[in-house]
Structure 1
Amino acid sequence: MKHLICISVVVLSSLIACGQQEESSVSAESPSEINYTMEVVVPELNIPWGMAFLPDGAMLITEKSGELIHYKNGEKTMISGLPDVYVRGQGGLMDIELHPDYETNGWIYLSHGSDEGDGNGGNTAIIRAKLQGNSLVDVEQLYKAYPNSTRGQHFGSRLEFDNDGYLYFSIGDRGNRDVNPQDVTRDNGKVYRLNDDGTIPTDNPFVDTENAKTAIFSYGHRNPQGMVKHPETGQIWVHEHGPRGGDEINVVEKGKNFGWPVISYGINYDGTSFTDKTEMEGMEQPLFYWVPSIAPSGMDFVTSDIYPDWQGNLLVGSLKFLYIERLVIENNEVTKREKLLEGMGRVRDVKQGPDGYIYASLEGLGIVKIVPED
């Protein structure tokens, strides 16, 4: 049964100048009212980390606790056949993505915590599988990050395909910022690129670097939990958690160093500083950053005619402040920010569905659809 929640949302718009280290002092514009219906399409979920839309109208939903759910026509079915999922802290069953040619080959890609290999704890693994009835079959592990760690932080891990069919995924620094992100001979704190079968593309940037992890595409990341392909340029965009301040949006580029933790617009959680540098030669600047942090998770671009005023905008979920943030981007600069679904819950993922509607996963509630009112 579908649940309808009608909301009159007050949207605060503010002009944000990227480059400010303090909270923006620009005054908000006069609030305007946007009326829409929030329809709960998949109720009673705990931490729905990722979602994918099947061609027959069904959804596949990952619960962080380790369950893969098939949902269609009001019926939830648990999918068996997953490998063991290591659940600790921020790790568990995470993102899900269909192959761009799914209707032909049936491949489904997932990221999850795994304790496979030596050492205590776990790290992020990437698998692919096919769905047969209510079970995953032909399960293949494509990548497993090492070393294992008992730390509960920063597993990543979003998945996305580019226009050339390469698979990108993120793995956070696993709470070891001083060792992992800047060292390409180590996993963690990186964005990776694979062929769809898990092999290494021959033109990856570090294939000829001694002892390097050759799946690495870019490095110097903290914990990217949003990843999306730009609908016009085809570039892969990520957003990543900063510490206290300094959440970033970055446009991933081959072999580039995005600076963590040498440069940052954030500080330690206790208010102390860990770096006095916000820029350095050879390190990339973010397209945009947030101070204070919003704890971003999940994002997508709006291309649908259903939301004509939002076309080309970027939607980003906020775990910390319980809203979706709409960012207006002009010439690769954020010119306006607006809050949507404010106070409805921790937003874990945001996606535009094949029907053109915006869907969001809210912790403790489920999957909701945003329906504009006429």
Structure 2
Amino acid sequence: MSKNPRWPATITYFVVALLIGVGLGSVVQTQFNLAALQAMGVEIPIEVRLTTTLQDLANFAPLYAVLFSVGFVVSQTAAVLLSRWLGGRFQAMLCTGGAVVGLWATLWLVNTLAPPPTLIAATRGIAGLAAMLATAGIAGWLFARLRQRAANAKRPRGFSGMAVVLGVGCLAAAPAVVTQPAQAQEAQAERAYQVDALAEGLEHPWSLAFLPDGRMLITERPGRLRLLSAEGDTLEASLGGVPEVFASGQAGLFDVLLSPQFEDDRQLYLSYACGSIDANHTCLAKGTLADNGLEDVSEIFRAQPAKQGAAHFGGRLAWLPDDTLILTLGDGFDYREQAQQLESHIGSIMRLNPDGSVPDDNPFVDRDDARPEIYSYGHRNVQGLVFDADNQRLIAHEHGPRGGDEINIIEAGNNYGWPIATGGVDYTGALVTPFEEYPGTEPPRLEWTPSIAPSGMARYTGDLFPAWQGDLLVGALVNKEVRRVRLSSDGTAEDVEGLFGELEERIRDVRVGPDGAVYLLTDSADGRVLRVTPAE
């Protein structure tokens, strides 16, 4: 029976195998991501493919190395010990199989615990997952072979040294990961506003609508529709008649919007997630507001097809001047390619009649291969929406991944690029696409990289803050502030400043009240309604 190599050598072989497994895994995930783009008709020249592969080795591989090493350490230690217990037999088989199981278990654990449904995009499908697992198997097999070769050799034959060179070469393109310190924000000058809390104790409030008499309706993500007085006192903690809501992760009750003829018909609209974790949709219902709840509630739209997970539902609502209704959707995170498929609602913006039917002049209404409700497509997760009456334009923003948050002017039938063109990268550091712009897609009017995680958005049209007149006020969840953006009549945009950062709260929604004050909803389990007025 051959001797086992000593631990220093074993550690060397382990590191070599790990580096090669990480390098191969990075290359495989890049090719699967590019293949998904090619399946949508995107042309990817060989030089772009090579550059993308090298960029992912630099930016994706370091994080993947952390994930990969967890399962690899456990699996290879167990495989070596088990092989030793079996008298040195089956080492290659045990190391190979153990590496596969170790990576699978790591990916399962990460996908279960991390907010994104599937952290590594290439593993969304069976083929991509199998290919990534195969690279782990190769690494495990190599580790076993290196140990066996060393144990059987009377003296080193140079193979391990060459393997070290190859292993390091897999990551040679990866520069040292340097964490850029966040730039300290400049000290804010004394603001000419004051912030007062109107209401507290709301559970993840999502949207706000003002009733004609000054009362407020607040949606809470778990599925409650709260009625507040103009002073912020709770009149009804949970109005009855709200549709059944799927509440999990980002899913829940979203926007509330009054009918343009509310004073006559008392109708309002609610967007929400419906279904289950395994099959859910963004849904839209309308009902009539009575004294203590909603009556005559009916679902008038349900996004198709169903999707799994609890991420990226969109859910913002707005009226156009012709009394058609706009509803924004998300890409479901794992379904990003469907944002380019007109036969799917996912990753699109809808235009509907007030009863949920399809307007005759929608851009794709005459196409058999398209959903007739679609107004625009190529979106990731649209959660900010306003109609600019002064310039007669629909303005939306959407979340990018790590960077690539966008403000867009929405026009009928246009393709806004996701996931073919974006300035953002996946949360793993991997490129979603090698293209920031692509022919046939609309570039954003403004982009934030790194991401600010935009949420609600309002256009200021009140009288209390003349300097903000006509500007967009964009909630920022990550930055814990509101960005003031000036969007000129010709469509050029300027990020002017951050507001309310001293609150250090995640801002979920921004509204301009009939009194000209700015109203903020804070996103937490103990959320608040805040009122911003000029300083006294």
Give a deviation string over 1:247-282, Cα, whole Å, max 9, x none.
Answer: 000111100000100000001111121211111111
User: Separation in 2 of the partners of 1:41 and 1:198?
Assistant: 35
Structure 1 309/210 Cα, relative in aligned 2: closer, same or farther at 3 Å? same
Give a deviation string over 1:34-77, Cα, whole Å, max 9, x none.
Answer: 13211111221121101100011111100001111011152331
Q: Is this contact kept in 1: 2:336–2:380, CA < 8 A?
A: no
Residue 131 in 1 paired to residue 289 in 2? yes
1:64 alignment partner in structure 2: 221
Give a deviation string over 1:291-333, Cα, whole Å, max 9, x none.
Answer: 1100000001111111011111110001111111111233422
Structure 1 residue matching 2:340: 3-state secondary structure: coil
1:85 alignment partner in structure 2: 245
User: Separation in 2 of the partners of 1:187 and 1:329?
Assistant: 28
TM-score normalised by the chain length of structure 1: 0.89
1:283 alignment partner in structure 2: 441
Q: Following superposition of structure 1 onto structure 2, how do residues 1-374 of structure 1 map, counting pairs within 5 Å? A: 31-72=188-229, 73=231, 74-77=233-236, 78-115=238-275, 120-330=278-488, 331-344=490-503, 345-363=505-523, 364-374=526-536
Instruction: Give the counterpart letter for 1:76 in structure 2.
Output: L
1:13 alignment partner in structure 2: none
Q: Percent same amino acid at aligned positions? A: 38
Kindly tell me the number of residue pairs found equivalent between the two proteins.
Answer: 349
- Greater shift, 42-51 or 236-245, is seen at 42-51
Aligned-pair distance for 1:92? 0.3
Q: Is this contact kept in 1: 2:316–2:384, CA < 8 A?
A: yes
- Greater shift, 101-110 or 255-264, is seen at 101-110
Q: Is this contact kept in 2: 1:177–1:260, CA < 8 A?
A: no
User: Separation in 1 of the partners of 2:235 and 2:218?
Assistant: 10
User: Separation in 1 of the partners of 2:429 and 2:469?
Assistant: 38
The alignment yields a C-alpha RMSD, in angstroms, of: 2.0
User: Separation in 2 of the partners of 1:135 and 1:339?
Assistant: 38
Give a deviation string over 1:91-119, Cα, whole Å, max 9, x none.
Answer: 10001111111111111011011118xx9
Instruction: Give the counterpart letter for 1:290 in structure 2.
Output: W
User: Separation in 2 of the partners of 1:336 and 1:28?
Assistant: 15
Structure 1 residue matching 2:264: 3-state secondary structure: helix
Instruction: Give the counterpart letter for 1:169 in structure 2.
Output: L
Give a deviation string over 1:188-209, Cα, whole Å, max 9, x none.
Answer: 1000000111110000011111
1:14 alignment partner in structure 2: none
Bigger CA radius of gyration: 2
Q: Is this contact kept in 2: 1:321–1:343, CA < 8 A?
A: no
Of Structure 1 and Structure 2, the greater strand share is in 1
Structure 2 residue matching 1:104: 3-state secondary structure: helix
Q: Is this contact kept in 2: 1:48–1:362, CA < 8 A?
A: yes
Aligned-pair distance for 1:150? 2.7
Aligned-pair distance for 1:132? 1.1
Q: Is this contact kept in 1: 2:226–2:234, CA < 8 A?
A: no
Structure 1 106/307 Cα, relative in aligned 2: closer, same or farther at 3 Å? same
User: Separation in 1 of the partners of 2:385 and 2:187?
Assistant: 32
- Greater shift, 328-337 or 157-166, is seen at 328-337
Structure 2 residue matching 1:39: 3-state secondary structure: strand
User: Separation in 2 of the partners of 1:29 and 1:309?
Assistant: 20
Instruction: Give the counterpart letter for 2:424 in structure 1.
Output: G
Structure 1 33/150 Cα, relative in aligned 2: closer, same or farther at 3 Å? same
User: Separation in 2 of the partners of 1:312 and 1:27?
Assistant: 29
Of Structure 1 and Structure 2, the greater helix share is in 2
Instruction: Give the counterpart letter for 1:337 in structure 2.
Output: V
Aligned-pair distance for 1:31? 4.9
Gaps of 5+ in 1: 1-22
User: Separation in 2 of the partners of 1:56 and 1:30?
Assistant: 40
2:47 alignment partner in structure 1: none
Relative contact order higher in (CA < 8 Å, ≥ 6 apart): 1
2:121 alignment partner in structure 1: none
Give a deviation string over 1:137-162, Cα, whole Å, max 9, x none.
Answer: 11121100122223111011100001
